[in-house]
Chains A and B, each alone.
Chain A
Amino acid sequence: MTQSIGIGLLFFLAYPQVSSRPNWMTVLIIAGFHLSASLLVHYYLTFPVLLGSPRQRRWALMLVYGLMLVALACRLSFTNLGLRISFLYNTAEIILAVGILIHVYRRHAAPDDRRRLRMIVFGSVASATPSFILYLLPTITGLTYRTPDWMVGPFIIITPLIYLFAIVRHNLFGIDRLLNRTLVYAALSLGILLLYLGPFLLIVRFAPGDWLAQMMVAAGLTLVVGLAFERTKNALQRLVDRLFYGGWYDYPGVVEQVSRALAGCIERGPLREALTRQVPDLMQLRDSDLRFDEGAWPAASPPGAQFSQFSLAFQGRPRALWTLGRHRDGDELADSDRRILDTLARQAEIALGNVLLIETLRAQLNEIRASREALAQAQHRLLRSREDERARLARDLHDGPLQVLIDLNMQLGLLLPQAGDPAALKEMRVEVRDLLSDLRGVCVELRPPMLDTLGLTAALRSLAEDWSAQSRVAVHLDLPPNTALQSLPGDVAVNLYRVAQEALANVAKHAQASRVDIHLVKDGNGLSMTIEDDGRGFAMPGDIGDLTAQGHFGLVGLRERVISLLFGTKPVLNQYPASMTGGHNRCILLSKADFFIAATQ
């Protein structure tokens, strides 16, 4: 950016001073300035990010270069108006280039690109410095001394040359093709011109005024040109192509670009793209293919074959076959081409190794996921059947022994007044009542009767009241009305109840708390339960499963229930509750939020 502003200033200050004598170095310097401005726009328009659509870029570049030619022509007319027009053009170009540079730097460039952009700007400034010191500084400071043009010229021309090199080197916006075609058609035009001009000159020289001969020669030549045009053009194109790609195409560029693409491959698609699209495009090769089939392939292609084949192995076994055709101009591959392809094939082999390794890992991961899912399913079934079993046992106890004791108690109640309240009978009744109380406790423990009669809210309230009376810790409840939970599936309700029960037991056992808060919130089709105490908390291991190793099973059991809950209602295993312990404080102390449970009805 600095360098661009510098060049802009340079134009601004230098223009009125430029000598009006049209010597060749002045022309070169002027052309250098003009080219600099256009190349700057071209460069930043295409590097490191391609701005706009290809069509938009094509028009923009045509405009930039076209105006450059016009401005250059104006400037070289050495008139005042021409000077102003070219000055206007250059200033606009510089502002445009700086604008694009800032835009790309701020909006589009990755950190790595930014570093490169900074380097490029720095390099440009460095390259522009000598011309600044030699040419501009004396002018600005008004020194009478002026460095001669032939000394300054090369420095001023360095900047556009550097940009030109960068554009060609990175093949930005297909400049190579542009040069290629220009060369072909310029040569063709020159050939045709000479072809016509030569015989005409001869006729004019030796048989002036012979219109018939001239017509005959013109017709003959046109015929020759018409017949030979296509062939000549193809031959020329082949020649130029060989010049461009056959011997000296950008070897390090190809290897670097393809290597970078291959290094990022973790799937077959990008690997195929790099080997069958990118490489043939860069090296101007015909039909390319990549097959992943198993099978025995020849290790190397036979000499003189239409195709080159590379077998890509993984763990000692060929796993893919990469095929490449000849050059697009029909030439066979040169040794240098084969060397590059060999290098690339070895790199592709490494990339293929990565791809296959990742595929294997993915498959293993899927297996693990499936088995985890199966495990959770089994766990869910186990928990459910355990709950069913407990409920059945509670019902049996309630209908059987409990009723017998109630009967006995009532009979004793009836008998006592009739028998005159004997001490033995009274004692017996006390024993029966104690037994009843114990049995009732067992039944409640097995299956809380409130859950089935009054619903989850009532059951939790009953649980909290009993627990609070026993542990002398205050429990604050924030529960939705029973009617809001009526549609809750039975096993969800019983699991939530068990979670609360286990959590309260934990608090009583470890927390030394003075207050517990239980929140049950139903929103939309989700349900969340938070149980929080103000106790001392404990350091939570990274993996909750580690607690079992220390002999603590409570939390792990809770987690199983929660997973079972989630699984039973919505089979998404990866949605474990985000945090089993620290909901509020992230420092993994259990004192604040104990558990968070989310279930979808």
Chain B
Amino acid sequence: MTRVLIVDDQPAFRRQLRALLASAGLEVIGEADDIATAETLAQFLQPDLAIVDVLLPGVSGIEGTPRLQALAPKMRVILVSAYHERLLHASAQAVGAEAFIPKDELDLSVALSWNKKRR
């Protein structure tokens, strides 16, 4: 089972995402509302996957991705955002994230695809 870390400052979104991931058969092993907390969790839990919001208070998801991957080298990172900006796709890839997905495109099929992929 894929072990997932959710990094988002919106509790409501974290709850929804947890439900979505659960129904797709992924296990959420931690939730963080900023990069600093996420770093601690990533280091101790070594998750398989991190779903990271771009717009976070303080350090953004874009800047945070390489920091998290430095602590959990096997962890994949998916960046999400309420915004659609084209440039975010390129930026996500540039910092080593697997993909950028707008929040309104998150659905079961997307979650299922995450479950299949493994490093």
| Contacts from A to B (Cβ < 8 Å) | 398-399, 402-407, 409-411, 413-414, 417, 433, 436-437, 440, 443-444, 449-450, 452-454, 458, 461-462, 465-466
Contacts and interface: CB of A to CB of B under 8 A. Distances in A.
Nearest to A402: B82
Interface of B is mostly: helix
Given A403-B10, A449-B55, A449-B85, A454 B91 contact: yes
Given A403-B13, A453-B60, A440 B82 contact: yes
Contacts of A433: 104
Interface string B28-56: 00000000000000000000000000110
B107 A462 contact: no
Contact of B23 (A414, A436, A453, A454): A414
A439 to B, nearest CB: 9
Contacts of B106: 410, 413
A413 B107 contact: yes
B6 to A, nearest CB: 13
Contacts of B108: 413-414, 417
A449 B20 CA distance: 26
A410 B107 contact: yes
3 closest Cβ pairs, A-B complex: A413-B107, A453-B60, A462-B87
Contacts of B16: 406-407, 410-411
B106 to A, nearest CB: 6
B82 A453 contact: no
15 contacts: A398-B55, A403-B82, A404-B12, A406-B82, A406-B104, A407-B13, A413-B106, A414-B19, A414-B108, A436-B104, A443-B82, A449-B83, A452-B60, A454-B62, A458-B91
A327 B78 CA distance: 100
Interface residues of B, number: 27
Given A410-B20, A453-B61, 6 more contacts: A399-B10, A410-B107, A414-B19, A433-B104, A453-B62, A462-B86
Identify which of A402, A406, A444, A452 gathers the most chain B CB atoms within 10 Å of its CB: A406
A462 B19 CA distance: 33
B55 A458 contact: no
Contacts of A403: 10, 12-13, 82
A405 to B, nearest CB: 8
A454 B108 CA distance: 29
Contacts of A444: 83, 85
A458 B91 CA distance: 9
Nearest to B60: A453
Contact of A406 (B13, B23, B61, B87): B13
B13 to A, nearest CB: 6
A444 B81 CA distance: 13
A281 B56 CA distance: 82
Identify which of A410, A411, A433 gathers the most chain B CB atoms within 10 Å of its CB: A410
A453 B107 contact: no
B103 A466 contact: no
A406 B54 CA distance: 15
Interface in B45-94: 54-55, 60-62, 81-88, 91
A346 B23 CA distance: 103
A407 B106 CA distance: 10
Nearest to A409: B104
Contact of B86 (A398, A404, A466): A466
B24 to A, nearest CB: 10
B27 to A, nearest CB: 17
B83 A413 contact: no
B20 A414 contact: yes
B19 A453 contact: no
B17 interface: yes
Contacts of B88: 450
A235 B13 CA distance: 113
B26 to A, nearest CB: 14
A458 B87 contact: yes
A465 B91 CA distance: 14
A443 B62 CA distance: 20
A440 B87 contact: no
Identify which of B17, B82, B86 gathers the most chain A CB atoms within 10 Å of its CB: B82
Contact of B87 (A404, A409, A452, A461): A461
A590 to B, nearest CB: 29
Contacts of B55: 398, 449, 452-453
A407 B12 CA distance: 7
Contacts of A398: 55, 82
A101 B10 CA distance: 90
Nearest to A410: B16
Given A407-B16, A436-B104, A462 B82 contact: no
Nearest to B61: A453
Contacts of A410: 16-17, 19-20, 103, 106-107
A443 B82 CA distance: 10
A267 to B, nearest CB: 59
B84 A453 contact: no
Nearest to A444: B83
A144 B103 CA distance: 122
Identify which of B54, B87, B106 gathers the most chain A CB atoms within 10 Å of its CB: B87
